[in-house]
Structure 1
Amino acid sequence: MTTVLETLDKGTAYLTKKGIEDARRNMQMLVAHQLSCTRMDLYLRFDQPLDEGDLVPLRDLLKRRGDGVPIQHLLGIVQFHNRDFKTDSRALIPRPETEELAEWLLKNAKLPAGARILDMGCGSGILGLTLAAENPEARVTLADLSPEALSLTKENAQRLDITNVDFVESDLFSALGDTRFDLIVANLPYVPEVDRPTLSREVQHDPDLALFGGPDGLDVIRRFVPEAAKRLLPGGWLALEIGIDQAAQTEALLETAGLTDLLTLKDLSGIARFPTARRSAV
């Protein structure tokens, strides 16, 4: 009978042959998922035999991962700021970089009691729901053009018991009335259309609507920034996530919109990833 260690070794070899990066870690995650344990638990279970009840579904997961289905879709969850969020093909797979933005905002954007927060293009809701959970007195609006993405956001809010939120299906600000906010965050489509052929198999499972932002990737951001600036309360914050080599153009948009205190934060890879700015307090 095949043991856990033998399964890990064979699966790792298969994923490596299929060109999957970090094949060992991927295989560990699949086996841990099937056995309902943690990756660390596997080290204590190397000699445990696996019966067909575990091996059959594991073989299916392994084949799908080898075919390029994202590990997050196979597991059904992704951890973000110490919470497990449901993730699937309805929305963009949450990226580790976005967690860096959430942590910076929680530390540096000092919000008033009862703050109003908007997560524009919320996708699975990881950013807005995290801000809502960490600011329970705030009211957070989660908006997206995609009804499928909003349905996933609602499921995440329910499973995490986050209630200080509202959901709006909207093409940017079209359905948001005249509400103004203390903080607006946005992870909008920013991939240039020309980059489509170069995307990994995993990224190609994300919805086109969440990925592509026109010829240079900035079409949606150009529409968004001027209107977002008008929707900020005095002293309010605007924070975005952008792609590689888009910082200078985005900063110019923020400055033209009359915002101040411009600062573009780098992610852990050193890429200028998160432009932030504020509306003057006077």
Structure 2
Amino acid sequence: MTTVLETLDKGTAYLTKKGIEDARRNMQLLVAHQLACTRMDLYLRFDQPLEETDLAPLRDLLKKRGEGVPIQHLIGYVTFHRRDFKTDARALIPRPETEELAEWLLKNAKLPPNPRILDMGCGSGVLGLTLAADTPGSHVTLADVSPEALALARENAAELEVTNVTFVESDLFTAPQLGGPGYDLIVANLPYVPEVDRPTLARELAHDPALALFSGADGLDLIRRFVPEAAARLAPGGWLALEIGIDQSREVEGLMQRASLTGVLTLKDLSGIPRFPIARCGGSPTDH
């Protein structure tokens, strides 16, 4: 009978052959998901024999992963800032870089009491719900043009028992509920992939909604609309923080400066890529 360790080894070899990066971790996640345990638990269960009732669904999951279905869709969740968020084809799979942005803001953006926060293009809700859960007294609005993404964000809010949030379906700021100034922080992980990159993207990205990925020839069509509108809705001293793609920082910094925002800078992600343009409505991002 096949043991957990033998299953891990065989599955890892299969995924490696299929060109899956980090094949061992992927296989561990699949086995842990099937056995309803953690990856760490597997180390204590290497010698455990697996019944066909577990092996059959595992083979199906393994085949799908080898075909490029994202691991997050197969196990149904992604861990983001210590919490598990449901993820599926209704919204962009949260990326590790976005978690870096959330952590920087929680540490460095000194907000007033009971701040108003907006997460524009919220997708599954990881940014807005994280800020809501970790910012006492805050009220966070999560907005997205996709009703499917908003439904997923609502499910995550309910699962995590985050109640200080409001959900708005809107194409950027077109919804009346989003009008007027007064936000202490606006965050956005909007589509920023250039249309010309579509044929070269990793096959896993084909499972993300195109609406959440592409934004014109250079990837900045939506951000060009968004920045001046967001700047007009910040409270004095309010923060604007975005996530962008490679080689887009200079253009986005220019948009922020032309919108009369101050202290404009772009933070690098852990890979050294200028990834997070930050600015304020008066003041400086270094004032913390």
Q: Same fold (TM over 0.5)?
A: yes
Instruction: Find the counterpart in structure 2 of residue 10 from structure 1.
Output: 10
Opposite residue 136 of structure 1, the aligned amino acid is: P
**2:45 matched to 1:45?**
yes
**2:60 matched to 1:64?**
no
Instruction: Find the counterpart in structure 2 of residue 99 from structure 1.
Output: 99
Q: Distance in 1 between matches of 2:75 and 2:108?
A: 33
* Structure 1 residues 93-132: aligned runs within 5 Å: 93-132=93-132
What secondary structure sits across from 2:7 in the alignment?
Answer: helix
**2:193 matched to 1:191?**
yes
Kindly state the Cα deviation for residue 179 of structure 1 after the two structures are TM-superposed. 4.9
* Structure 1 residues 116-195: aligned runs within 5 Å: 116-175=116-175, 176-195=178-197
**2:253 matched to 1:266?**
no
- Would you say the 8 A contact 2:78–2:87 is kept in 1? yes
Opposite residue 74 of structure 2, the aligned amino acid is: L
Opposite residue 239 of structure 1, the aligned amino acid is: A
Q: Distance in 1 between matches of 2:25 and 2:246?
A: 27
- Of 272-281 and 211-220, more deviation after overlay is shown by 272-281
Kindly state the Cα deviation for residue 127 of structure 1 after the two structures are TM-superposed. 0.2
226, 229, 252: which is aligned to 1:227? 229
Instruction: Find the counterpart in structure 2 of residue 76 from structure 1.
Output: 76
Kindly state the Cα deviation for residue 17 of structure 1 after the two structures are TM-superposed. 1.0
Kindly state the Cα deviation for residue 200 of structure 1 after the two structures are TM-superposed. 0.5
- Would you say the 8 A contact 2:181–2:235 is kept in 1? no
What secondary structure sits across from 1:202 in the alignment?
Answer: helix
* Structure 1 residues 203-214: aligned runs within 5 Å: 203-214=205-216
Aligned residues: 281
Opposite residue 55 of structure 1, the aligned amino acid is: L
Q: Distance in 2 between matches of 1:250 and 1:172?
A: 17
Opposite residue 140 of structure 2, the aligned amino acid is: V
- Would you say the 8 A contact 2:228–2:255 is kept in 1? yes
Instruction: Find the counterpart in structure 2 of residue 25 from structure 1.
Output: 25
Opposite residue 236 of structure 1, the aligned amino acid is: G
Q: Distance in 2 between matches of 1:59 and 1:136?
A: 45
Q: State the TM-score, normalized to the length of structure 1.
A: 0.98
- Would you say the 8 A contact 2:242–2:277 is kept in 1? yes
Kindly state the Cα deviation for residue 136 of structure 1 after the two structures are TM-superposed. 3.0
Q: Distance in 1 between matches of 2:138 and 2:64?
A: 41
Q: Distance in 2 between matches of 1:179 and 1:241?
A: 22
- Would you say the 8 A contact 1:136–1:164 is kept in 2? no
Opposite residue 4 of structure 1, the aligned amino acid is: V
Give per-residue Cα distances to partners, 1:94-145, cap 9 Å, x unaligned.
Answer: 0000010001000111111111000000000000000000013010000000
- Percent identical among aligned pairs is 79
For structure 1, the residue ranges without an aligned partner over 5 or more in a row are none
For structure 2, the residue ranges without an aligned partner over 5 or more in a row are 284-288
What secondary structure sits across from 2:44 in the alignment?
Answer: coil
**2:274 matched to 1:236?**
no
What secondary structure sits across from 1:237 in the alignment?
Answer: strand
- Would you say the 8 A contact 1:72–1:87 is kept in 2? yes
Kindly state the Cα deviation for residue 258 of structure 1 after the two structures are TM-superposed. 0.3
What secondary structure sits across from 1:84 in the alignment?
Answer: strand
Instruction: Find the counterpart in structure 1 of residue 250 from structure 2.
Output: 248
| Runs of 4+ more than 4 Å apart | none
Instruction: Find the counterpart in structure 2 of residue 90 from structure 1.
Output: 90
